[in-house]
A and B are shown apart, each in its own frame.
Chain A
């Protein structure tokens, strides 16, 4: 398929394709990070993860509408305001959910699956009732939707750059919070020995609540970021959920590094295959490979060997 092209053209395309792969990687990390934090630290699978993302997207939608009508001059920065608001909105909802639902179910992880699934149905219908069944169009600052032309062929999508930047920022922030801050130390203490952590004066319930809120808040940021590349509707969260779960499962579910590594592997595989095959076949092949590897290594790619 490359015979007709000059070297410079091919080089450009490969550069573009590499960039596309990185964007996909960023998207995957952003999707999966919140879920992985909650699962890795608390053993809870949040089936409503997609709906928390969409909450972030709706917050962005409302925020952009507000800026458009109330302060058009500030429109260029509306998106970042929206993103912060999205974090707090999803995080707050997450903490509410933890308080009213999840905390009663820590000993029954399978039941949290069902309860959060129920929650996702309720949220979807709530969005439908509030925002209407149709998708909403999120108006973004004009400067974010363009591209930076480097050469004739190479054009770097700005939204791709932004997604990558956000992902990087969030990942670093999570790493700092988890491994450098006092809160992170508390979280890890609770994960390792809940009773002991409680005994030394850590408010384990509060740690749980904040962890869950953090995971949901990151989902909200992801949703906010995805208004740049995807749709915002009551059931749009479902579009992301399969990929999200696969990334988390494939990464071994317990380590954040595993999640990042798995996001990288899957995104590169998919992006490369998509280039050489038809999109549908690429997706199927990627998924089959992932399942095949999971069959051989169901514990995921990256698990620490520990005494159980």
Chain B
């Protein structure tokens, strides 16, 4: 790789530098119109020594293949590989096929940092699609900023962050939460809420936003708020407390293995979610998680996210079919998987808009990029590198799918540092 980026550089360096400005401009126009019609020379689209040759561009995929997080991250890896394959089938990016280098974060944050650095420093990848937990993103963030890499991060998360080196393709907390709460208050007449979560930053921040919105904006009441350690498997006591408080809504942000325990025990304790007394609303259970929980155990719960597999539009139908075709008929697709799928496409669009693989140009080109072919419909990158997207409410059915019962009319604006919610 190291030889490639220097290929043909020495003599024509000056001339190339002079040409770059105009070439980029021209290419940008071309890219918007005809896409991959032409293959610009490597020296022009790659001035910073990335792993780009005349026919190949290398990118990184960085997720946990092993360890506890492999459960969640597998879907993202599959989606990213699908997107890369589809892009390659269409002719690649600026005429170059995408090759990916996959690294295992092993559910261990320092390993994520180590592998991120390896991808950027040794492999000189043009972009990295990866990370899942906030902790892994926090661990790699300084690496991406120091070595100037591009990270496409797929998970819905707590916000409170905005890095020029990251495109957040999942929703930040306010996007995900507020519309759902408005809906449940208006449509279901909910008055009291019980907030519950696994004990770490995302559920806590999300519940903080939820509480502010419930109390300050909706004028309703939070009757309880609790956190359980990650991996906790015994929820009978909290279920008793919930029964005592009789909230209208249980707002649950439980994750991982705890999820399965929570919903199984909730059902066994006689809380029939289909009766909606209380109603269960979650932002942490995608179709992926339901496979572990069992559709019959969560039937009747509501989830607020930007994507459900059952979304009825052509983009999504194609995507679901392609995904199953590649990975198997029994695959299910959750919100994060779809967001991960958007990563390579958004990067491709940015590269083509910038007419270059250079990180700085991609950073600059990214805001405003639209994806009309996204399975969730339409997304656009905001100035703050998050996505404008719609928020939907899904109603869990016993077959493990959500039925979409509501979607916001407008795209929700991403607001990672929400005023009044801190």
Contacts and interface: CB of A to CB of B under 8 A. Distances in A.
Q: CB–CB under 8 A between A and B in the complex? A: yes
Contacts of B261: 229-231
A279 B228 contact: yes
A233 B292 contact: yes
A145 B268 contact: yes
Contacts of A133: 65, 70-71, 74
Interface in A1-41: 5, 9, 13, 16-17, 19-20, 23-24, 27
A153 interface: yes
A225 B380 CA distance: 48
A230 B288 contact: no
A282 B199 CA distance: 12
B86 interface: no
Contacts of A158: 268
A278 B289 CA distance: 25
B9 interface: no
B265 A229 contact: yes
B229 A5 contact: no
A149 B71 contact: no
Contacts of B236: 19-20, 23-24, 157, 160, 271
B239 to A, nearest CB: 8
B368 interface: no
Interface in B230-250: 231-234, 236-241, 243-244
A188 interface: no
A235 B240 contact: no
B297 A17 contact: no
Chain A contact residues (Cβ within 8 angstroms of B): what range?
Answer: 35 or more
Given A230-B264, A231-B257, A157 B269 contact: yes
Interface in A122-154: 125, 128, 132-140, 142, 145-147, 149, 153
B74 A145 contact: no
B291 interface: yes
Nearest to B241: A275
Contacts of A135: 71, 257, 260, 289, 291-292
A147 B270 contact: yes
A234 interface: yes
B61 to A, nearest CB: 15
B293 interface: yes
Contacts of A280: 199, 226-229
A27 B292 contact: no
Given A231-B260, A235-B68, A274-B237, A139 B294 contact: yes
A171 interface: no
A128 B66 contact: yes
A147 B239 CA distance: 13
A299 interface: no
Q: Which of A226, A238, A239 has the most CB of B within 10 A?
A: A239
Interface string B47-77: 0000000000000000001111011001100
A228 interface: yes
Q: Which of B225, B229, B240, B297 has the most CB of A within 10 A?
A: B240
Interface in A217-251: 226, 228-236, 238-240
Nearest to A5: B244
Contacts of B269: 147, 155, 157
B259 interface: yes
Contacts of A17: 237, 240
Q: Which of A128, A136, A137, A275 has the most CB of B within 10 A?
A: A137
A159 interface: yes
B226 A279 contact: yes
A106 B296 CA distance: 47
B267 interface: yes
Given A139-B296, A145-B297, A279-B229, A228 B264 contact: yes
A53 B228 CA distance: 23
Contacts of A155: 269-270
A145 B227 contact: no
Nearest to B234: A24
Contact of A230 (B67, B74, B243, B257): B257
Contacts of B291: 134-137
29 contacts: A19-B236, A24-B236, A128-B66, A132-B74, A133-B65, A134-B71, A134-B74, A134-B288, A135-B289, A139-B294, A139-B296, A145-B267, A145-B268, A146-B267, A147-B268, A155-B270, A157-B236, A157-B265, A157-B270, A229-B265, A230-B260, A230-B264, A231-B260, A238-B68, A239-B231, A275-B241, A279-B228, A280-B199, A280-B229
Given A9-B244, A135-B257, A137-B400, 17 more contacts: A20-B240, A134-B75, A135-B260, A139-B296, A146-B267, A147-B268, A153-B243, A229-B265, A230-B257, A231-B256, A231-B293, A233-B292, A235-B67, A235-B68, A238-B231, A274-B237, A279-B228
Top 10 nearest A-B pairs (CB, nearest first) are A135-B292, A231-B260, A155-B270, A20-B236, A274-B237, A147-B270, A279-B228, A157-B268, A133-B70, A137-B294
Interface of B: 65-68, 70-71, 74-75, 199, 225-229, 231-234, 236-241, 243-244, 256-257, 259-261, 264-265, 267-270, 288-297, 400
